[in-house]
Structure formats: C-alpha cells, structure tokens
Amino acid sequence: MRAINIPRDGLPVTTARDMARDDSISGRFTLKTEVVVIGSGAGGSMVAWELARAGRQVLVVEAGPYHPSSAFTEHLGDTMTEIYREQAAQLNSTADVLFPEGACVGGSTVIGACVMQQPPDSVFRRWSEELGLKNLAPQVIKPLFDEVGREQYVHLNEAHEINTTAHKVIQGCERMGFSWKPVSRNVRQCALTGHCLAGCPSDRKMSALVTHLPWAVGHGARVMADTEVTRVLIRNGRAYGVEAVVRDPRTRQKVAELRIDAEVVVAAGGAIQTPLLLQRSEIPDASGQLGKNLAVQPFVQVLARFREELHGFRGALVGVEIDEFIETDGYMFFSALAEPEQLMIQGNQGAGPDHINFMKSYKHLAGLNAFAIDEGRGEVKWKGSHTDGRKVISWNPSRAEFEKLKHGASLASRVFFAAGAEEVYLPSFQRLSAPSVFDLDARLDEITYGVRGMYSLRINSFSSHGTCRMGVDRYHAVTNARGEVYDVKGLFVADASLLPEPMASAPHWTVQTLAKQVAQGIHARGQELFLKG
C-alpha cells in the first residue's frame, strides 16, 4: 500500500455548496463513470478503494454531508443533529425500537464504537456447506479477513484501554465464572476520550473517513456528498446508471438533479437504505425476499450504580466482551456507558428533579450492553412513488426474542451485582430498578411482553443485516454469491444486507470483508462488465 498524502481538513469532496456555486450546473446535469458506488461507509468505501487502485474510474455518491475530522466537537448532541440519520431518531413502525445510522461521508463507521469481530469458523462452514456459498468457506474468506484486519489496524484492547466500566464487568464475570476477553477494535493509538459515537477528531478511529475513502481518492476516485440516489436505472436487464437529487444539508432545498451513467452500479447504503433503493428502482425480484429477512441484533443496555465514583465514560468506549454465551446461545455482551444524550433519546433520564438526580449519579454508573441474536423476521419496505414515498421498518420482538433480551438483561444485572453494584437500572419503558440481586427477578417479572412486545424493553439496533441476502438460488435470495443482483447484470450489493442469515457477531469486519470480495470479483470480470475490458 503506497503512502497517500491527504490533507486533514481536505478530502476533495464535492458538496451541494460547490454545485450551487457552479454556473455550469443549471438544475439538471449528467456525469459519466465506470463505477458508481452508492454509500460511503464500510462496504462502499472498500469497494471504491479496491476498484480505484485497480485502475477503474470510480464515483462515490453519499446522501449525507461531509464532515472532516476537525469538525467533530466530541459533543454527541452536535453529531446527532448533523450526521446521524434523522437526528438519531430512525425508528421502527411502532416507534419503540431505535436504529441509529451515520448519514455522512464515511457512513456509520464515523459514529461506530469500533468493535471488530470475526464470526467463528462454524458459521462460515454452515454458510458454505449448507447454504452452498462456497465463497464463504473458511479457507476462502479468512485470508480476506486478515487483509482487512491489517488495513484497519485491528487489535485487542490493551490494559490501558480498559476503563472502569469494563473493570466492573471483569470483576462480575470473575465472580460469576463467566468467560470474558478484551474487545478487538479498529483504532490506532486511541486517545481514550470515550466519545466514539460523536466522531473521532484525532483520526485515530480507522473509519472510512480516514482509511479507504482517502486511499480511494488517492487512486483517482471522486466523492460527492449531499447527493441522494433516488433510483437505479435499468435497461434490458442491465444497470446503466442512477438518478439522484442534490440537496443543501441545512435547508434540504434541492440544488440540482443528477444522472450518473455507469457500467457498474454498487449499492452500499446499508441493510435499511439499500433495499429501499432497490424497491424504488423496481428491480425484478423473483425471490420475493427484497427487504425481508431483516435481522437487527437487538440489544438493551443495563446501567448499574456503584458507591464509588467510576467516571466510566472515560477511556475506550467499549473495553471488554463477555464471550461465555456467543456460540451456545447467541448472546453478546459489551461494556459501554452511553452518553447522556443517548440516554435522553432512550428516555432513561427522566425530567425535572428525576433528571437532576440521575445526572448527579452519572459518574457512579457503569453500563453493559446485552445483545441477542434474533430470528431475522423483520422487513424494510418503501411505500409510494420513488420520489415522494416513505420507508417503513417493521421489526418487533417475538415472544421468544423478548425472553432472550429479558434474560440477557438478567445476566448483565447479575454481573454487576456480583461486582458490588448498589442498584441496577433495567432497560424498561416502566423505568424499573432493582436495589439488590434478591429483588431482581421480581422487578424483571414486571416487564411483560404485552401487545406484541411493544413498549416493553428499550431496544436498540446498530447492526441491521440480511435484507438483500446472498444465495445460490434466485428464488430464495436477492443476490448471487458474487453480490450481483439476480436478473440485473452490473448491479451489485456490498453492505450488511448481503449476510445470508442472522448472526451473533458484530458485522463491521464481515461487511468490509464481503465488500472486498465483491470488488475483487467485479475487477476479475472486467472484460465482461466494462466496455474497455
């Protein structure tokens, strides 16, 4: 990898403001490229870099704004307002499950928690042997994981990166006899400020904003921000470009309409946005699976109050994981204390005197996120025309999923009580807490499934996947093993929507690895896909 000099404040990104100042743009214009990549996050940036360094003309189109590292203030409220999708309030259809996403150049990698996990070999053997996806066999995919790991500086947290919140989890695990280990993160010389979700101002987080996008630009790729693709253009069973709208990120006023002619189109907007785009584009879908099979890796956060001051918001946001239950039950647990703004969105902080008392106790808190593998029964659907419609995210826990999450909250609570917690706050809309482990079961019993699990547990999802799943049967999958959409030549998917079934590992590393494989496959088929071969 050759060194590429990109100024800290200056990825050459074309923004809506640039286009508004360009006198040659009069409402509508057309661009041409070999490859247009829709989305600039984990998958899109990887595809852009792989194909740009292979000599292809690449244009990356991002609906969100461009924020250089120097623009981040480490105030989560600022970041939520400016670069989270819908100001961090993207919700399911019943408005009780939160789906935070980055909507900016770099995508969710900019606001992610840096957790990097490889699924166990047993998962890849199943996908290869039982689902027929030979490209995902361990001996094929693992070398690509290693390559991505080197590019992303993935490493196990060292002792100085494990903060007091994590140490409380360690203490509880040791007393409970649970297996734990330091988390692997894609950070280089972490500054340990604890504000990962607000964006990293020091370029230490190896997000797409400071790795694959600058590398792609260094090899000639172009990046456009503030540009929302409304549909993929298809003729005679082949994608030939996209249509997009450029909007001012502040006023949301339309600056221009844009058509991009391309020989290859790569959709990499994530497991929610990509199926919406393909639905708006009315792509043929013999499987009937487009937008379905939404798996969300639902999680709840358990907060615990300790007698001593912890300042658990300092240091690496995520320090350790409990790996006792991953392969047996599909549970993941990560130490992390949410910032006040995040807790406010979840409704944990109360109002008036309750809010003041809660915030006084904040420096005494530790947090543990309890994830459960779900059944992948959710759906993302676009309703209405491609310009004036709306998205609908349908996911609510089944009774079995609800019980899994509730049991995860119970385990997390017991870990904290074993570590000496004085009180545990349960992740319920009822604002329940348990003052001791002896009161825990009775408090948990007050959290009932109710009406289809709505407004019971406070559920979040950072890891949606599966809505354009790959497979070897066009009647059961949206894309083939190469990530190419069935019946639309030259249209590829390179994000978490490719994952063929729900999994119990954080998907970031897997998404980048799959995107690398998709990009290398596109390059290998150059004579077939590109006019110039």
Cβ atoms of 220 and 48 within 8 Å: the answer is: no
Residue type (1 letter), 463: S
Identify the pLDDT of residue 532. Answer: 81
Beta bridge partners of 380: 393
* Mean pLDDT score of the chain: 93
Whether residue 6 is predicted with pLDDT greater than 60 in this model: the reply is no
Grade residue 353 by pLDDT with cuts at 50, 70 and 90. Answer: confident
Q: Is 87 helix (H, G, I), strand (E, B) or coil?
A: helix
Identify the pLDDT of residue 219. Answer: 96
H or E stretch at 515:
helix 508-524
Identify the pLDDT of residue 345. Answer: 57
Per-residue model confidence as pLDDT tens digits over 252-270: 999 999 999 999 999 999 9
Grade residue 7 by pLDDT with cuts at 50, 70 and 90. Answer: low
Identify the pLDDT of residue 449. Answer: 96
Lowest average pLDDT, out of 78-87, 334-343, 440-449, goes to: 334-343
Question: Residue 88, by phi and psi: left (phi above 0), alpha (psi -120 to 50) or beta?
Answer: left
- Which of 513 and 19 is assigned the larger pLDDT? 513
**Torsion (CA) 103, 376, 513, 318 in degrees, nearest 10:** 70
Query: What's the Cα-to-Cα distance from 204 to each of 69, 153, 376, 451, rounded to whole Å?
Result: 10, 10, 34, 45
Report, as an integer, the average pLDDT of 329-335: 93
- Six token digits for residue 135: 């490209």
- Rounded CA separation 278/267 (Å): 9
Whether residue 402 is predicted with pLDDT greater than 90 in this model: the reply is yes
Question: Residue 211, by phi and psi: left (phi above 0), alpha (psi -120 to 50) or beta?
Answer: alpha
Identify the pLDDT of residue 10. Answer: 66
Whether residue 4 is predicted with pLDDT greater than 60 in this model: the reply is no
H or E stretch at 409:
helix 399-418
- Which of 198 and 138 is assigned the larger pLDDT? 138
Per-residue model confidence as pLDDT tens digits over 408-432: 999 999 999 999 999 999 999 988 9
Cβ atoms of 485 and 478 within 8 Å: the answer is: yes
DSSP annotation string for 265-302 = EEE-S-TTHHHHHHHHTT---TTS-TT-SBB---EEEE
Whether residue 22 is predicted with pLDDT greater than 90 in this model: the reply is no
Cβ atoms of 246 and 226 within 8 Å: the answer is: yes
Cβ atoms of 289 and 469 within 8 Å: the answer is: yes
Provide the H-helix boundaries in 3-75. Answer: 16-21, 42-53
Residue type (1 letter), 272: I
Lowest average pLDDT, out of 230-234, 346-350, 351-355, goes to: 346-350
Measuring CA to CA, which residue among 36, 35, 15, 10 is closest to residue 25?
15
Grade residue 49 by pLDDT with cuts at 50, 70 and 90. Answer: very high
- Six token digits for residue 342: 């995040």
Report, as an integer, the average pLDDT of 144-170: 97
- Six token digits for residue 208: 């797409």
Beta bridge partners of 512: none
**Torsion (CA) 131, 137, 141, 143 in degrees, nearest 10:** 180
Whether residue 158 is predicted with pLDDT greater than 50 in this model: the reply is yes
Sign of the alpha-carbon dihedral angle for 262, 266, 267, 269? negative
Q: Report the 10 Å Cβ neighbour count for 387.
A: 10
Report, as an integer, the average pLDDT of 364-392: 94
Per-residue model confidence as pLDDT tens digits over 81-108: 999 999 999 999 999 999 999 999 999 9
The answer for residues whose C-beta is within 8 angstroms of residue 465's C-beta and 6 or more apart is 271, 294, 295, 297, 496, 497, 498, 499, 502, 503, 507
Classify each residue of 137-150 as buried b or exposed e, where b means 16 or more C-beta atoms within 10 Å of its C-beta.
Answer: ebeebeebbeebbe
For the chain, how many residues are written? 533
DSSP annotation string for 488-502 = -BTEEE-SGGG-SS-
Report, as an integer, the average pLDDT of 293-315: 95
Identify the pLDDT of residue 3. Answer: 44
- Rounded CA separation 307/227 (Å): 50
Grade residue 204 by pLDDT with cuts at 50, 70 and 90. Answer: very high
- Six token digits for residue 437: 């482990």
Whether residue 346 is predicted with pLDDT greater than 60 in this model: the reply is no
- Six token digits for residue 490: 């030259």
Whether residue 8 is predicted with pLDDT greater than 60 in this model: the reply is no
Per-residue model confidence as pLDDT tens digits over 469-513: 999 999 999 999 999 999 999 999 999 999 999 999 999 999 999
Identify the pLDDT of residue 157. Answer: 96
The answer for residues whose C-beta is within 8 angstroms of residue 118's C-beta and 6 or more apart is 142, 145, 505, 509, 510
What phi, psi does 160 have (nearest 5°)? -70, -10
Report, as an integer, the average pLDDT of 287-291: 98
Lookup result for tokens 């019943």: 94
Report, as an integer, the average pLDDT of 153-162: 96
Cβ atoms of 114 and 317 within 8 Å: the answer is: yes
Identify the pLDDT of residue 1. Answer: 40
435: exposed, middle or buried (Cβ count in 10 Å: 0-12, 13-18, 19+): middle
Grade residue 358 by pLDDT with cuts at 50, 70 and 90. Answer: confident
Whether residue 164 is predicted with pLDDT greater than 90 in this model: the reply is yes
Report, as an integer, the average pLDDT of 98-120: 96
Provide the H-helix boundaries in 100-233. Answer: 121-129, 138-151, 164-176, 212-218
Cβ atoms of 56 and 34 within 8 Å: the answer is: yes
